[in-house]
Amino acid sequence: MFFHRQELQFSSTPDKPDAVFARKLQEVLGGQYGEITVAMQYGFQSWNAHIPGKYRDLLFGIGAEEFGHVEMLATMIAQLLEDAPLGVTGDAVQDDPAVAAIVGGTDVQHAIVAGAGARPVDSNGNPWSAAYVTASGNLLADFHANANAEMQGRVQVARLYHMTEDKGVRDMLGFLLARDTMHQNQWLRAIEQLKEDGLEQLPVPSNFPQKKEHTDVSYQYLNFSDGAAAADGPWAQGPTPDGNGTFSYHDGPTTSAPMPEPTRPDARLFGTTDAPNPVEKGAARVQDVLHKE
């Protein structure tokens, strides 16, 4: 269950309206790596968790915080939009070029659809999609997804920080940056702990018996491009991070198989084929079905 308190985790008030920045801020609210994504992602990971205790509690604990960040950003965006101009008039643009920038740079749905309110979309107006969410039930994989999400999120907030000079906005962004710092560290630490606790190892999933894979190509760097520096990295030589092998380097593939013959499915699917009778394998039946019935 979730309970709501009519407070914010941090002050979220801009110095002055800025409809253009409001649009940009939508990215970290409703974009691929916005707050809705991490809130829903940690939620589904906790509901799909297969172990009680500290890992599930961690997911519950951070997930609820992220829903609060959604609210913080929505509140900020509504304030940035509070005095947004309605639209363009020739005179206004002639008088003040800044109006032209505003006209062009805003999310017009902020005004037309939401009446100067935040929307669950990214900075280009794409609706947030649950296709952004990762929750596989394998915690080592999912915690890497989480670490990545917090990194992408912090990169985006850092970029936004330099796209505004509003002290109120920067103050809030500084808070979000700190929380992203924390959450990056948390997921990276949790990754190590999973391995220390013996719950998962590399390669993920570690309880799939590796002998069933084609181990001859498990540690080969197969370079399908022609870059000269390709062989210089530690991914082309030396021990592998999973501790099970040694990297080797190869120009292109080490295995190959002939391209299979094209398929010739049932003639009643009306694909194009070069056989005199279009369905070699079932000629009798096809004649019957197509031409006699």
**Binding positions for its own copies, 46-85, rule CB under 8 A:** 47-58, 60-65, 67-68, 70-71, 74-75, 78-79, 81-84
Q: Does 288 bind its own copies (CB under 8 A)?
A: no
Among 24, 35, 38, 169, binds its own copies (CB under 8 A): 24
CB of 257 closer than 8 Å to CB of 245: no
Q: Does 35 bind its own copies (CB under 8 A)?
A: no
Residue indicated by tokens 């002055």: 16
CB of 244 closer than 8 Å to CB of 210: yes
Q: Does 210 bind its own copies (CB under 8 A)?
A: yes
| Residue 284 beta carbon to its own copies: minimum distance, rounded to whole angstroms | 15
Q: Does 195 bind its own copies (CB under 8 A)?
A: no
Among 15, 195, 215, 288, binds its own copies (CB under 8 A): 215
Calpha distance 132→31 (Å, rounded): 9
Q: Does 284 bind its own copies (CB under 8 A)?
A: no
Q: Per the annotation, does 225 bind a ligand?
A: yes
Calpha distance 290→293 (Å, rounded): 6
Kindly identify the residues of this chain, within the stretch 96-135, that bind its own copies according to CB under 8 A.
97-105, 107-109, 111-135
Kindly identify the residues of this chain, within the stretch 144-183, that bind its own copies according to CB under 8 A.
144-145, 147-148, 151-152, 154-156, 158-165, 174-175, 177-182
Among 22, 38, 140, 169, binds its own copies (CB under 8 A): 140
Q: Per the annotation, does 291 bind a ligand?
A: no
Q: Per the annotation, does 271 bind a ligand?
A: no
Helices 54-81 and 19-30 pack at an angle, to 10 degrees, of 160
Q: Does 280 bind its own copies (CB under 8 A)?
A: no
Residue among 40, 62, 80 nearest 173 (CA): 80
Calpha distance 69→72 (Å, rounded): 5
Torsion-angle region of residue 16: left (phi > 0), alpha (psi -120 to 50) or beta?
beta
First-residue to last-residue Cα distance in the chain: 62
Residues listed for the chain:
293
Q: Does 283 bind its own copies (CB under 8 A)?
A: no
Q: Does 262 bind its own copies (CB under 8 A)?
A: yes
Helix (H/G/I), strand (E/B), else coil: 238: strand
According to DSSP, residue 148 is labeled: H
Residue 92 identity (one-letter amino acid): A
Q: Per the annotation, does 7 bind a ligand?
A: no
Q: Does 22 bind its own copies (CB under 8 A)?
A: no
User: How many positions of this chain bind its own copies (CB under 8 A)?
Assistant: 206
Indicate the annotated binding residues.
Answer: 35, 57, 66, 69, 150, 183, 223, 225, 227
